[in-house]
Amino acid sequence: MCAISGLVDVTGRTAGATDAVAAMNDAQGHRGPDGAGIWSSSQAVLGHRRLAVIDPEHGQQPRVLPLPERRGELVLTYNGELYNFRELRAVLRRAGHGFTTGTDTEVLLAAWAQWGPRAVEHLNGIFAFAVWDSAAQEVWLVRDHLGVKPLHYHRDGSRLLFASEPKGILAHPEVATALDADGLRLLSLPLLKVPGTSPFAGIEEVPPGSVLRFGRDGTRTTRYWSLADALATPEPAGSPAAAADEVRALLEDVVARQTISDVPLATFLSGGLDSSVITALTREHLGADAELRTFSVDFSDAEGDPGSRTAQDRLHARLAADHLRTTHHNVVLDADALLDPALRLEGIRARDLPNGFGDLDTSLLTLCRRVKEHASVALSGEAADEVLGGYLWFTLPEAVGADTFPWIADTPAHGRLHPRQQALLPERLRKELDLDAFVADEYRSALASLDLPDSLSPSARRQREITYLATTYFLPLLLDRNDRLSMAAGLEARVPFCDHRLVEALVRLPEHVRRGAGREKAVLRDAIGTSLPTPVRERRKSPYPTSPDPRYATRLRTQLTEVLSAPPDDIDAYLDAEVLRPDRATSGAGTGLVSNYEAEVVLNLAAWLEAYRPALV
């Protein structure tokens, strides 16, 4: 994993471009602690920061491939992993390409030389990369199927800037840090990620499964893969047992590909079904004699409540680890560490956003740093719930029947997070942003892109709609969080459930197969079978844990009182005056999906405003 950055000006590079890209590169240094590189020409400057995973000795970038027959060259800067690079290398060798390293970078560049933009049809992996074609005087930006790896850009006339993270683009001296009305809307919707957007004015995201071409004739973005295409097919015939066998075979292939690494590898093991499945298959692929390190997060004060989410995670993670004979690390955190303002700021800087998720973020960042002490790659169970309908809102009647994104439907089971967030805004801003209308437009637009088979029953149709919404508007939030916080620790987090072949197979399954006999993700439980102990295999969905320590809420409110006694300039432009009263900080904390949510929002926003100082435009 790495960071990429660059500047392309088709009319000729302006003075200072190399220094500007070097600054963009350095702003993303956390993503690539093992090396840095800059390549420049009269029209393009490409930058790269490297986290060495495959062939550590020979993976320096940007990488150049001369094309004498075209009187030009291809230059690649690449972030990601190609899990089928060995197969591709064999195919490309037969086509006449030679290789001098063991890297997937060299394979990717040869694939682009062989097939051009159609190379994406051959790729299996997670990636975000840019290819400068000097002969055609154009640059291509490419992002993986589900958008696991981030890629942002800024268009300014004849010039295009790009970087893995917004902070890379904001490091360019001519790009202002600013928010417009749409940016404020995005910041005000913490559980909704609109594809192709960022909150920062003038900075967009290459959508998942897309390629962007920029040249003298402007910019064009096209999709090469869409989940909508998989959902447009009829439900497959076959028994639940046959489906479980197919899922098992696919998962075995996916995990085998994703355990390829030239540096130490580990897995996250929360004790839930998804991470336990990935760990079990990793163990089987590596063999019984190989050491496999596993990691879970815990809290120092959680021993006293055996029924808490954390205690249950600890119990089931230990059951899985003992069964699979892993070297398990239970990473214990305490309230003082999680409430360190420096750690809060590091999480905010990692994500470039003031999301109010508090210890959900700081605990994950700390966990990733502990994993990094032992490994540079970790496999995660992320995305199984979205593609297999594992969340409560896939079945809760008032959520399923809501005429909106079901996870933000106004239901008690979801902690009413959407209306709670709106209530924090000043009345003027609530009226100006009209978030309900914005959400309704996005919802209608998302469903309009679906063309579902007429053969589906109404309930099956709705389940496919929710699966599409979850995978395109909710999962990207989690993938972005996972990528940013792991990369801030110099750790590559791999997500086997995001293999596009596996996703296509899972989302097509009939509901009685996905949820047989009322068991959420029944097909996954049947697929893993006796590879896991029964209590782990049959465990119900449990959310990512938060600190149960009552001192956390108490100290959080103390911090809030201190911040509100001397708040940052302009914070009242974002939050209602009632929310900003210092005495309100002692009135208690909210409950629901995120504990102490309102307090976390205020503290994160205050820290973000101090660090980023955005202008409102």
In tens, the pLDDT along 136-177 reads 999 999 999 999 999 999 999 899 999 999 999 999 999 999
Buried b (16+ CB within 10 A) or exposed e, 438-447: bbeebbeebe
Q: Which amino acid is at 150?
A: P
pLDDT of res. 588: 45
SS3 for 390?
coil
Residues 83, 123 share a domain = yes
Q: In what order do the strands lie in the sheet with 293-299?
A: 327-333, 293-299, 265-268, 377-379, 492-494
Annotated binding-site residues for ATP read 297, 380-381
Mean of pLDDT over the chain: 92
List beta partners, residue 221: 212
Give the annotated binding-site residues. 104, 297, 380-381
Query: How many domains does the chain divide into?
Result: 3
Binding residues for L-glutamine: 104
Q: What is the pLDDT of residue 335?
A: 87
Question: Can you tell me the distance from the alpha carbon of 452 to that of 313, in angstroms, rounded to the nearest whole number?
Answer: 38
Q: Name residues whose C-beta falls within 8 Å of residue 166's C-beta, 6 or more positions apart in sequence.
A: 152, 198, 200, 203, 352
Q: Determine, yes or no, domain membership for 297.
A: yes
Both tokens of 386, joined, read: 């979205």
The CATH number linked to 506 is: 3.40.50.620
Query: Do residues 268 and 191 both lie within one domain?
Result: no
Asked if 468 contacts 446 with a C-beta cutoff of 8 angstroms, the reply is: yes
DSSP code of residue 171: T
CATH number at residue 73: 3.60.20.10
Shared domain for 106 and 216, answered yes or no, is yes
At 586, the pLDDT band (50, 70, 90 cuts) reads low
Q: What is the pLDDT of residue 55?
A: 66
The per-residue pLDDT for range 264-295, each reduced to its tens digit, is: 999 999 999 999 999 999 999 999 999 999 99
Secondary structure (3-state) at 560 = helix
> Is the residue at 8 inside a domain?
yes
564 and 484 part of one domain: no
The larger pLDDT score, comparing residue 32 to residue 316, is at: 316
Is 305's pLDDT higher than 70? Answer: no
Confirm whether 484 is domain-assigned.
yes
**Residue 354: both structure tokens together:** 């003031």
Torsion 447-196-474-273 (CA) sign: positive
- Per the DSSP assignment, residues forming a β-bridge with 616 are 179
Residues 238-247: contacts with CB under 8 Å, at least 24 apart: 240/512, 240/513, 240/516, 240/522, 240/523, 240/526, 241/526, 243/509, 243/513, 243/523, 244/523, 244/526, 244/527, 244/529, 245/527, 246/505, 247/502, 247/505, 247/506, 247/523, 247/524, 247/527
Structure tokens at 518: 């009322």
Going from the C-alpha of 345 to that of each of 187, 339, 348, the distances in angstroms are: 17, 10, 5
Residues 365, 387, single domain; the answer is yes
Residue with tokens 């897995």: 267
For 6, the 3-state DSSP assignment is: strand
Domain boundary among 478, 510, 537: 537
pLDDT of 224 higher than 70: yes
What are the structure tokens assigned to 394, written together? 């896939």
Picking from 479, 506, 537, the residue at the C-terminal end of a domain is 537
Residue 437, in any domain of the structure? no
Residue 241 and residue 209 in one domain: no
pLDDT tens-place string over residues 170-213: 999 999 999 999 999 999 998 999 999 999 999 999 999 999 99
- Residues 219-246 as b or e (16 or more Cβ within 10 Å = b): eeeeebbbbbebbeeebeeeebeebbeb
Q: Answer yes or no: do 178 and 279 share one domain.
A: no
Catalytic residues: 2
Residue 447 belongs to a domain: no
Residues 6 or more apart from 422 whose CB is under 8 A from it? Answer: 188, 430, 435
Nearest to 4 by CA among 586, 487, 601: 487
Whole-prediction pTM value? 0.95
**pLDDT confidence of 15, banded at 50, 70, 90?**
confident
Range of the domain at 567: 550-616
Q: Model confidence over 399-435: pLDDT tens digits?
A: 999 999 999 987 665 556 677 788 899 999 999 999 9
Q: Give pLDDT, residue 510.
A: 95
DSSP SS3 for 213: strand
| Within-domain flag for 65 | yes
